[in-house]
Structure 1
Amino acid sequence: MGHADTLIAMGGAFLAAAVLARLGGRIGLPTIPLFILAGIILGPHTPGVVLISDPHDLEMLSALGLVLLLFYLGLEFHLDDLKAGGRKMAVAGGTYLALNVGAGLAFGFALGWGTSEALVLAGVLGISSSAIVTKVLVDTGRLGNRETRPVLGIIVVEDIFLALYLAALQPILSGADSLAAAVGDGAKAFAFLLLLALAARFGTRLVGRLFSTPDDELLVISFLGAAVFVAGVSEWFGVADAIGAFMVGLMLGSTSSGERIRKLVHPLRDAFGAIFFFAFGLSIDPGDLPVVLWPVLAAVAVTLVMNVLAGVAAARLYRFHRQEAANISTTLLARGEFALIMATMAAAAGLDSRLSPFIAGYVLLLAVLGPLAAGRSHWLARILPGRDSDDGDGDGDGKEKRVGDGGEDAGHGAGLIPGGTAAAAPGRR
């Protein structure tokens, strides 16, 4: 692709996402499926205008979008939350994984496509999309809700599990019969995760000094460079780049510059996050979906049930009400970038050709249903067991009321949608 074509493609991607998001905002649709729809419409697999013929042309911008989304998630997940709720976080995350990964593995074997395929499907059905979860929390204004802490905790546990699962799965898919190689890859990934965790726990003061500057331009360059660099190093060690970016955000969010970084990263997060979902849409060929329609619908039904069970279990663990259980269940529903990683691995390993269209259809359907369900979680709350919310604000959303909420940060979560749902100011937890 030439220089002019690249610029046209990039500019067109931004504009297409903005136009569809603006139109969707007028009728109350969430941004995520609209960004994906823009990619499908303007991609190589649909008739009409083809803005980008090769999805890999946006690969770097898409990766940057994912990094920024997870970096922002780390900024919001304060270290005090990890210290105070580590045990509950591990139990909630472990329960979520046991239900969803276990159901995915059983579903994979039930399809009868093969053992390797079943292992891939266990990861696909078991892991939420960190990028979509982040965007849903922002768009629905739930960053200040008390159930957001276990949601983010479950995401952290999922990312750690994913890093180890990918390391263990790779030699199986590649046909390697060396247990030592598999154990070595897993140990390398775990060691790097431990290093990041120790840096986040004990290195915050030093990091704060290194990033302390009154110059906004220098601060943007510094945190952007750190997030991207650590994300790349993480991938080299076999850890998902998303968890590396998350850990950088976790460290910087606890420094004296944390509040400024949150404000400065908002426009970058929204712009490149839109490109991430647009690029995802480019990779989907709608013509492949009818072949796997029934397995996709069955997998979506399984995921819905498992998410509700996991949400109820987490709510009981944290003594939440049923509205908060519904929020947890629907917020974690979407699948996305990690499922696509699984699809790429499966294709490279020459597994069943039905896997790629299945994963694409499954992810697309949940990418649409997830944000829609999250915005209407009160419908689910009506049929869940447990108590009604008694937070006193009359809206039943379980939102913590803090002095200062709804300040200058309110409304930033509307992303590219003018007049979208305002997000509560995240504040300090």
Structure 2
Amino acid sequence: MGGAFVAAAVLARLGNRIGLPTIPLFILAGILLGPHTPGYVLVDDPHELEMLSTLGLVLLLFYLGLEFHVGDLKAGGRKMALAGGIYLVLNVGAGLGFGFALGWGTSEALVLAGVLGISSSAIVTKTLVDLGRLGNAETKPILGIIVVDDIFLALYLAALQPVLTGADEAGTALLQIAKAFAFLLVLGLAARFGNRVINRLFATRDNELLVISFLGAAVLVAGVAEEFGVADAIGAFMVGLMLGNTASGDRIRELVHPLRDAFGAIFFFGFGLSIDPGDLPTVLVPVLLAVALTLAMNVLSGVCTARIYAFGARPAANVATTLLARGEFSLILAAMAAAAGLDDRLAPFIAGYVLILAVLSPLLTGQTSRIPASPSTTKEPPSDTAPTSAASQESSGNGTASDRPSYAEPPA
């Protein structure tokens, strides 16, 4: 674990000197020091860091929930649902068509639909934080699309599991979907109507107690979510959504920063450990075709989102490039495919596809600031996308990693 932190820090420092984002460098550190590349092997088995990697994902999504307020859902729910629905139709539909075109099988095509269709919440969150774009007008729609994606993913995984395992009864699939939906509904109702009770539970002036409380809540609910067939990251996101609206919300955002950054680095490092570069040449052509298809669908989705919110060219490019990344959920699907004994080409395909987009998305997103700002991008954002948190109000529009928002301690 110590070697992982040091390796990630060294590469990130080198990358900062030449203007590279940290995410691909953390992944590169994992690849270079993993069991699949020659030279020194820091971690023989990627599963040794699995729990720490999961904690990194949970904290990244917990922070995302802190930035996304219930008021945003009430004010702009229809637009967010429309933008998220368009994103899913374009990307999942393209992924399904691409899967059938490859001719690897029906189950394989269903897996590829999810791999190509769902963006990486962890990479999107980290990219927005690193570039200081939490206060941008287009950030709320980006987070809204992520929420729609994650809700779809929970139901999609519940439906896909019995298909891959060969369950004959449709009732099995329906039961899993119902459990997942019921759990999300309970969390949503708690976020909507339980603010007063939650505020009392987390009302403390002691930072130590507050850290233990919110960390325990996020991890516990994430674990319970998995038991109900919902991705653990979505459970953590919902906890962040609840706590972000409490009186302690700003303090929690400040206190979670070092935890989020440290374990987020381990998540991406662990992601790199799972990639075997030697398998990539066998599926290079399909991978490149899938990357080109995903890029085209994201550009089209960015244009549609800009039309819905009356954004200009730069916000449209930000939407398209930020959501381009694929990551943790694609790897979950790869593990499910391997356990189900599907085509052996799926694992290296998913690894290569995810690796390219995980690197390409932060790099392209960092370049969108060069696009001239149209008059619409300099106006006040619409009411349903207006930043509502201290983090959003204090973050810059197109900053760098050094422009991360800071939060003031509220008066006693």
Band the TM-score falls in, shorter-chain normalisation = over 0.9
1:95 aligns with 2:86: yes
Deviations 1:272-310 (A, max 9, x none): 000000000000000000000000000000000000000
Q: How far apart are 1:327 and its partner, in Å?
A: 0.6
Partner residue in 2 for 1:34:
25
1:167 aligns with 158
**Counterpart amino acid of residue 165 in structure 2:** S
Distance in 2 separating the partners of 1:231 and 1:63: 10
- Aligned residue for 1:343? 334
1:367 paired with 2:358, answer yes
The equivalent of 2:195 in structure 1 is 204
State the secondary structure of the residue aligned to 2:104. Answer: coil
1:49 counterpart SS class: coil
User: Shift of the alpha carbon at 1:388?
Assistant: 2.1
Cα distance between partner residues in 1 of 2:42 and 2:211: 31
1:286 corresponds in structure 2 to: 277
Counterpart Cα distance in 2 of 1:32 and 1:217: 29
Residue 81 of structure 1, aligned match among 72, 76, 91: 72
Greater Cα offset, 351-360 or 76-85: 76-85
Residue type of the alignment partner of 1:78: H
Measured at CA, do residues 313 and 409 of structure 1 come closer, stay the same or move farther in structure 2, by a change above 3 Å?
A: closer
Provide the residue aligned with 1:147 in structure 2: 138
1:133 aligns with 2:114: no
Q: Is 1:274 aligned with 2:255?
A: no
Amino acid at match of 1:126: G
The equivalent residue for 1:396 is: none
Change (3 A) 1:250 1:113: same
How far did 1:140 drift?
1.0
The answer to whether the 8 A contact 1:295-1:358 is kept is yes
2-side partners of 1:232 and 1:392: how far apart? 42
Counterparts of 1:294-373 in structure 2, within 5 Å, are: 294-373=285-364
In structure 2, the CA distance between the partners of 1:107 and 1:403, relative to structure 1 (3 Å rule), is closer
TM-score normalised by the chain length of structure 2: 0.94
Question: TM-score of the superposition, structure 1-length normalised?
Answer: 0.90
Task: State the alpha-carbon separation in 2 of the partners of residues 269 and 278 from structure 1.
Answer: 14
State the 1:423 CA deviation: 2.9
Contact 1:167–1:238 under 8 Å retained in 2: yes
| Counterpart code for 2:374 | D
Residues in 2 aligned to 1:244 and 1:90: alpha-carbon distance in whole angstroms: 19
How far, CA to CA, are the matches of 1:214 and 1:174 in structure 2? 50
Structure 2 gaps, min length 5:
380-384
**How many angstroms apart in 1 are the aligned matches of 2:119 and 2:184?**
19
Deviation at 1:402, TM superposition (A): 10
CA distance in 2, matches of 1:137, 1:176: 40
2:296 is paired with a residue whose SS is helix
Measured in 2, the distance between the counterparts of 1:271 and 1:377 equals 27
Residues 395, 403 of structure 2: 8 Å contact kept: no
Contact kept? 1:142, 1:424, Cα under 8 Å: no
How far 1:322 moved relative to its partner?
1.3
Alignment partners' CA distance in 2, 1:259 and 1:320: 29
Contact 1:144 1:425 in 2 (8 A): no
Q: Deviations over 1:15-58 (max 9, x none)?
A: 00001001100000000000000000000001111000000000
CA contact (8 A) 1:408 1:425 kept: yes
Percentage of identical aligned residues: 74
Q: State the secondary structure of the residue aligned to 2:167.
A: coil
Q: Residue 54 of structure 1: which of 45, 48, 51 is its match?
A: 45
Contact 2:390 2:407 in 1 (8 A): no
Provide the rounded CA distance (Å) in 2 between the counterparts of 1:184 and 1:405.
39
Q: CA deviation at 1:389?
A: 3.7
Give the C-alpha shift of residue 377 in structure 1.
Answer: 1.8
In the alignment, what sits opposite 1:422?
A: 403
Instruction: State how 1:189-200 maps to structure 2 within 5 Å.
Output: 189-200=180-191
Q: Distance in 2 between matches of 1:97 and 1:389?
A: 29
**TM-superposed deviation, 1:204:** 1.2
Please tell me whether the aligned partners of residues 56 and 260 of structure 2 are also in contact (alpha carbons under 8 angstroms).
Answer: yes
* CA 337–365 in structure 1, closer or farther in 2 if over 3 Å, else same: same
Mapped to 2, the partners of 1:88 and 1:297 lie a distance apart of: 32
Cα separation, 2, equivalents of 1:401 and 1:275:
29
- Contact in 1 for aligned 2:251/2:407 (Cα 8 Å): no
- The offset of 1:359, in angstroms, is 0.2
1-structure distance, mates of 2:24, 2:387: 30
- Work out whether residues 304 and 333 of structure 1, in 8 Å CA contact, stay in contact via their aligned partners in 2: yes
Assess if the C-alpha contact under 8 Å between 1:406 and 1:425 holds in 2: no
* Residues 68, 293 of structure 1: alpha-carbon distance in 2 compared, 3 angstrom cutoff: same
Q: SS where residue 376 of structure 1 aligns?
A: helix
List structure 1 runs of 4+ shifted beyond 6 angstroms.
399-411
CA gap of 1:214–1:421, structure 2 versus 1, over 3 A, is: closer
Q: Does the 8 Å contact 2:394/2:405 carry over to 1?
A: no
Matched, 1:250 2:250: no
Which runs of 5 or more structure 1 residues have no equivalent in the other structure?
1-9, 394-398, 415-419
Cα distance in 2, alignment partners of residues 403 and 110 from structure 1: 45
For residues 73-102 of structure 1, give each alpha carbon's deviation from its aligned partner in whole angstroms, at most 9, with x where no partner exists: 000011110110111111010000000000
Contact kept? 1:144, 1:424, Cα under 8 Å = no
Paired residue for 1:388? 374
Pair 1:405–1:56, CA change in 2 (3 A): closer
User: Are positions 1:23 and 2:9 aligned together?
Assistant: no
Partners of 1:403 and 1:104 in 2: CA distance? 35
| Counterpart-to-counterpart distance in 1, 2:387 and 2:183 | 38
Deviation, structure 1 residue 205: 1.2
CA distance in structure 1 between the partners assigned to 2:327 and 2:298 by the alignment:
15
1: CA distance between counterparts of 2:217 and 2:3? Answer: 29
